[in-house]
Amino acid sequence: MCSEFDRLAEMKKYVVKVFEECVKSVSPRNIVRNTLRFDSKKLFVNDDSSEYSVPGDVYLVGFGKAVLNMALEVENILNGRLKEAVVSVPFGTQRPSSLQNSKVRVMEAARNNMPDRQSVENTDRITGTLARLGRHDLLIVLISGGGSALLCSPTVPLHDKILATNLLSSGGASIEQLNTVRKALSRVKGGRLIGLVRGECTVISLILSDVVGDPLTAIASGPTVPNDDPDCLPIGIVDRFGLRDKMPKTVIDALLRNESFNGTSARFDRVHNYVIGNNAVALRAGIEYASRDFKAVLVTTSLHGDVALVATFYSDLVTYVCGLYACTTDGKRKDQLKITSSSVVGGGGVDVEGLTNSVVEASSEGRGLCILSGGEPTVMVRGSGLGGRNQELALRVSLALGAARRRDDGLHRFDVLFFSGGTDGIDGPTDACGAFGYPALEDVALSQGLDPSRYVNNNDSYGFYSSLDCGGDDLLKIGHTGTNVMDVHVLIIKPK
């Protein structure tokens, strides 16, 4: 008879395949190929629903983890019409062989996803390209996750801006809050990039979203859309986290005199922004793959908030689902799930009624359940360890599931496996994209002299997983994927 860990090993292999399908579906070249068509005089976007005349030259600029392959596919589609292209990408980005005969100029920057001097120099080159545009030209702007660090022209000293970002991030600020402050400290974010475009050319922006809900003003800090943030909002965010006294004086002064850039309506009337890929696209691909073997359910693409709250949500979710399978659940568990889900999804939380129906169907068909969710939780950094939000979430989910199983012996009748991974292939300053979690993880760790709670308190999830010997690596390492649409969570629940 297979042991629990033998079954988990097979489940891990399956989850990796689901995750790979999610990532593949948002590969830059596939997304661009399915979005653009060109016939020498006109560029068509989104199944020809929009078309743009191209009487002059075509220029391209891009910034983000996915823009190199996006740019190469655009160049291929334009079939010789591309005049000039410059993209700013992370250090270590894999360069395809097709780049040898390309007009796309690649500039690297932002090691560990932090803006640096090279980011500033690359941005100067990008704005230099904008200055050469004529009235009849077409500008294509490519934007993806990581763009905030790669498009950087600060109004304060760079090290002051980095310190401000680190303080907010460590304090638990969301990506939306971080980008709000970044816009107020930038010459190019918050719509200001369009203010640097010379002439009255048409601008088409193709965006891979790495932000919950796909708000254009937040993705890469909204360089191509008007900034409608109240002028006082950035300093308000700093005050909300009690950081005014810790911030550099240059940053506080800049935030106090902040004026959001709205431009003129005519200026932005010629700018057309398209979100061509996002977390939902990735999750739908995972659902399609998992549906062959499981009852597959997409719960949400909008998970946010502290990983501790998200871990509690997943523990309550597992407890509720297992209770439905065993016909032992009650109204209290349903109400609890609604409460915890609303704290990490917003609104009324997840569709518990729809989830209930899916579990009932799975049970009647004798199938396990594969739940996919996505979003981008945050971590409150209090320790000095090494890790990322996905690894810490997986570890916290493991602890929460272990505690739930000790309270409810009925959970022993189910195999449960959780995975959290970043679609960009990198989680925090580590070489892993994410990690697995399961109820027995804590017991395994303690038997090896590892106290997972201590690692959690030190924000050292990578250190924990690297030290754990469980007969198989619970860290997933796939390297840079060349794309980024936030995180993917896969949860499998199977009756034994």
pLDDT digits (tens, 9 = 90+) for 416-455: 999 999 999 999 999 999 999 999 999 999 999 999 999 9
Residue environment code for 41-74, b if the CB has 16+ CB neighbours within 10 A, otherwise e: eebbbeeeeeebebebbbbbbbbbbbbbbbbbbb
pLDDT at position 2 is 63
CATH, range 281-495:
3.40.1480.10
Residue type, position 352, single letter: V
**How far apart, in whole angstroms, are the C-alpha atoms of residue 210 and residue 188?**
19
pLDDT at position 140 is 98
pLDDT at position 199 is 72
Domain with CATH 3.40.1480.10 in the chain: 281-495
pLDDT at position 280 is 97
Q: Distance of CA 440 to CAs 5, 119, 313, 404, Å?
A: 9, 44, 18, 11
Phi and psi at 155, nearest 5°, equal -90, 0
Would you tell me which CATH number, out of the four given (3.40.190.10, 3.40.47.10, 3.40.50.10180, 3.40.50.740), belongs to the domain 27-153+188-226+261-277?
3.40.50.10180
What is the DSSP-derived secondary structure letter of residue 203? Answer: E
Domain with CATH 3.40.50.10180 in the chain: 27-153+188-226+261-277
Of the chain, the end-to-end C-alpha distance in Å amounts to 11
pTM: 0.87
Q: Which residues of the chain have pLDDT under 50?
A: 1
Angle at 107 between CA 104 and CA 111, to 5 degrees: 145
What's the helix, strand, coil split of the chain in %, to 5?
45, 20, 35
pLDDT at position 470 is 78
Going edge to edge, which strands form the sheet with 50-53? 36-38, 42-45, 50-53
Phi and psi at 108, nearest 5°, equal -100, 150
194 and 267 in contact (C-beta within 8 Å)?
yes
Please report where in the chains the tokens 């823009």 appear, as a residue. 67
